[in-house]
Chain A
Amino acid sequence: MKKLAYYPGCSLSGTGRAYDESLRAVFAALGEPLEELDDWNCCGATSYMSIDKGKAYALASRNLALAEREDADLLTPCNACYLVLEKTRRHLAESAEMGGRVRHALDAVGLGYAGVVRARHPLEVLTQDIGVERLKEAVKEPLKGLKIAPYYGCQIVRPYATFDDQYHPQTMDQLLKATGAKVVEYPFKTRCCGASQTGTLPEVGLHLVYRLLNEAKARGADVLAVICSLCHFNLDVYQSKVRREYDLEPIPILYFSQILGLALGVPAKKLGIDRCVVSATPVLERRAAHAA
């Protein structure tokens, strides 16, 4: 397995720190502790691309160049970062003009980029490199009885389907099933969560969030599992605002890595379980009591 440099991205050091904590714990428990990319910078997300294309690509490519110096691929948990890095890699290979401009800019600060670095999502690494079987063998606390709706969000399968099916992604389903939990049918798997519209245009954003939560409830899920910090923010932090506008029972939102961590026997505290605004503790305790 090619060396992986961990690229947490900005939100994992802020509102999404439970994702960071649980990922580190899961990879450590599987014997593959994460090493952070030295001096990484923001990928630029969708905002920078809305203003200046050249600078947006330069910004993202600095991370690719830093990883290349370490002869590593980038382990990229955030969907937005993942897409930006993948899009940059492709665009620099396809566009001679942009490739030239960006290489010139990297060269100005003593960096180089030959184009061999890939962004890799934890779902891909866990299913392909580490493998579901190895995860299964490491499970200490099977999560029997827990019903989970798997939510992948947009940008992990669109516009590129790099490691999973574009319409019916399965990698998170496989990992969650390996914990002994039940994965419910969830047709909104890749439907948009509203991204930053929850903040900028709440009447629009909150409605999109409502539909995702309501569907998970209707499918009988106890928790909704996510793989992106922005999705988590919308579904968890904005849930109280959604419930003020719509008739909806609360549903806790967990990162898939928090669920894997629980099954691997990592203490809840180390997984940031108590960082959920909508507490997951009652659901998890009920399940444990039921299973005992």
Chain B
Amino acid sequence: MRPNIRTEADRSPEFARWITSLPGAEKIRECMHCGLCSASCPLFAYMDYSPRQLMHLGREGFRDDVLGSFTIWLCTSCYQCTVECPRQIPVTEIMYALKRRAIEEKVYTPHLPIPVLAREFRRMVTDRGRISESWLVMKLLLKTGVHRMFGMVGLGWDLVRTGRFSLRKETIRDRGDLARMLEAVGSDAEAVS
């Protein structure tokens, strides 16, 4: 068995520079490893790396470990860590940036539904300006495994019988304006190094 050891060769100085250049993230250098981010995280028990470990791996430049971690996809943006951090490290915002970079560089398990949800969500909002929940869920199920639909039948019926299921495609009036606006805002510079 290969021991789980990282060496200098596994580090990416570029990644370390990138992560510490995110807004507010220069404070990662001041992390004193108190572990409050991990202790307060409601998802901590399910993570491969704790938030504290992830921040540490990031500032040292261990790109593959950080972007390949399950942790970034477990984060629900509840902001508990951000509020607790005595060094004011914006942990949740860093998690967002890591998700964006992982999606851009396509380093995540192909069938992990979370990035698929994000992409389908974006497509629907970009096209129509609003989310139609039933359609979004169906698209997600189609893309991540139709077998999962069977487990959702009962839940779907509950929504139908309580009048909460709608197949209407919600749309804003000024779709053209929305498209022009999203075009005009340009691309993020943060992911390119």
Contacts and interface: CB of A to CB of B under 8 A. Distances in A.
A82 B20 CA distance: 28
B163 interface: yes
Given A10-B170, A50-B96, A195-B76, A204 B133 contact: no
A101 B185 contact: yes
Interface residues of A, number: 63
Contacts of A13: 130, 166, 170
B57 interface: no
A17 B78 contact: no
A159 B185 contact: no
Interface in A207-258: 208, 237-238, 240-241
Interface string B115-138: 101110110011001111110010
A212 to B, nearest CB: 10
B43 interface: yes
B172 interface: yes
B25 to A, nearest CB: 14
Interface residues of B, number: 61
A53 B190 contact: yes
B6 interface: no
A46 interface: yes
B140 A48 contact: no
Contacts of A204: 43, 46, 74
A77 interface: no
B118 A158 contact: no
A10 B77 contact: no
B130 A41 contact: yes
Contacts of A240: 154-155, 158
A95 to B, nearest CB: 7
Interface of A: 10-11, 13-18, 39-42, 44-55, 57-59, 62, 95, 101-102, 104-111, 154-155, 158-159, 166, 191-192, 194-197, 199-201, 204, 208, 237-238, 240-241, 274-277
Given A159-B92, A201-B113, 5 more contacts: A14-B131, A41-B130, A62-B178, A159-B83, A275-B163
29 contacts: A10-B130, A10-B170, A13-B130, A13-B170, A14-B133, A14-B166, A15-B164, A17-B163, A39-B172, A41-B172, A50-B118, A52-B122, A53-B188, A95-B23, A108-B181, A108-B184, A109-B174, A110-B177, A111-B181, A158-B78, A192-B42, A192-B78, A196-B117, A199-B113, A199-B117, A201-B114, A204-B46, A208-B43, A237-B159
